[in-house]
Structure 1
Amino acid sequence: MTGTHPVGTRAPGPAGQWLRNLTTPPRGAGEPPVRLLCFPHAAGGASAFRPWRGLLPPECDLWAVQYPGHEDRVGEPPATDLTRTARQAAIAAQWLADRPYLVFGHSMGALLAYETCRRLDHLGVTVPDRLFVSGSPPPHRVAAAPADTDSVPHRMHGYEHRTGTETGAGPDNEQHDEQYDDLAAKTLSADLRMLAGYRPGPAWRVPWPVTVIRAAQDPDLDAAAAAAWQDYAVDDVTLATVSGDHFVCFTRPHDTVRLITGAVRR
């Protein structure tokens, strides 16, 4: 989740600050593949999507956004403004738009994915084939809800121990110590403050297909909240439910990835 280890391959040029290629090995410049750009959850980093690498079709490159203060950007101050973070991510994401691409975001990452797509559209950049939002109510519902500072850290703690970490830490590893726990807690706290300060502007309706993914046992997203994303799309959204809890897209990613690969342009 956090740490100073290398995470994927950086995009060339200025986009390399924000974008990590998680495909192994990274594909070259031959036949243009489709790209999938993923936005992590609160306290999550690009490496959260490593379990997806072997599940995507061979023509799909896996990319993830790396937020300031996370993983290999741990030496930078964490982001404090969600809309400004999305603006910076959009500037970097333009580099991916020379090929067909999809955008996915989970939890806090769903909001960042939405806001980033808003800015890509305003910049006149080639739009993604589809936006996938997972594990999050739509922007105005998030902004109106009180911050739940107790339950989110509890669920994050459970997620860390179910999956281990990219630093080699785990429940049976001595590296999973107070130093790591303190770093993870600070990263989560910074992201929760950013979420608490999120004030979305006028609702922007996504002018391309949108899929909302809800885990059936997710306490953060019920069916009504998932359906409310309809107010943020020009056309009807696709509502999909997978079995599992809030972090099932990482702990058992097959169902989530299958929904995404169904939209890959072949």
Structure 2
Amino acid sequence: MIVWTVANQKGGVGKTTTTVALAGLLAEQGKRVLCIDTDPHASLTYYFGIDSESLESGSFDVFSAGKAVSADLMRRSILPTQFKHLSVMPATMALATLDRKLGTQDGMGLVLKRGLAMVADDFDYVLIDVPPVLGVLMVNALACCQRVLIPVQTEFLALKGLERMMRTLTLIHKSRGENYAYTIIPTLYDKRTNASLQTYKKLIARYGRSVWNGMIPIDTKFRDASNEQLTPSAYAPKSRGVLAYQSLLTNLKQLEER
């Protein structure tokens, strides 16, 4: 089971779109895919047409179980979607209370890792959508992944969010001794603007080979797909945005095979 965490400490950079787009493409390839929503805003949950406030269980229940997390709870917290091979563990606003209620409890940073180990035979890929805040949710998502995918909007302020994210990875490495493989993904690229081009050049100059050598363009088909609650590849398989994500997925698979 391969786990990718989609994270950045800035909102609006394309985390949920990246999660859904890659998950949809993998599912179309016959891979058993689980998307996990750990963001209290529950954008990923709503994307798949799930009402986060009427759930019997979800990611909040998994985290609340702490060390007592079980395979049964994990499976009860996972829902099918309308897409073959694609499941989701939904989120609720209650996730916003986790740091205050449970953040200091021993072992809270490894709950998701323990839970996923119990259902490892059920899925080929897991993609985790993470809120843009360093806390118990992000720590959990980082602790259980093989690679961090960091979408970065190609505009100046997004570079500041990336700097915070890189400091977080360094901080967790120092405290836990864990190295994280990561791929920086330029998103919302607008070839008509000098700002996008200059930001892309700065990304390459600062982070070199850690930056994917393509970019995800601005594409209105992403918004349209979201409105229809369809993965981008199901809604517009030949759109430029989907073709870009196909290229990204090919690259990520090659990295995992090394």
TM-score w.r.t. structure 2 length?
0.40
| Greater fraction of residues in helix | 2
Instruction: Select the structure with the greater relative contact order (CA < 8 A; seq sep ≥ 6).
Output: 2
